[in-house]
Amino acid sequence: MDGSLPGDVFGAIVAAIVVINETRGEVPGSSASAKWPEQRRMPLGQDGSLGIAEYVIVADADPPRIVLTRVQLY
């Protein structure tokens, strides 16, 4: 994490990570990639005003893993 990020952006990323882990990747409002269903996207901030977080659900790992792959800020 970049220490120069504004607090609301940093907080939104941390909140996204918590929600992703609590829901095992099945975040309400997230969307799956048509070509790669294991890849998900979820909005950051209120109504996606800050950007998008992308993550991958690695269901066949033991235990299953979720990897945050990219954060695209607006």
Going from N- to C-terminal start, the domains of the chain cover 7-73
Q: What is the tens place of the pLDDT at every residue in 14-24?
A: 999 999 989 88
Average pLDDT over the chain reads: 88
Q: ω before 64 within 30° of 0 (cis)? A: no
Q: What is the tens place of the pLDDT at every residue in 3-60?
A: 777 888 888 989 999 999 898 888 888 898 888 888 999 999 888 899 999 999 988 8
Q: What is the pLDDT of residue 1?
A: 62
**Stated pTM of the model:** 0.81
Largest CA distance in the chain: 36
Residue 61 has pLDDT above 70, yes or no: yes
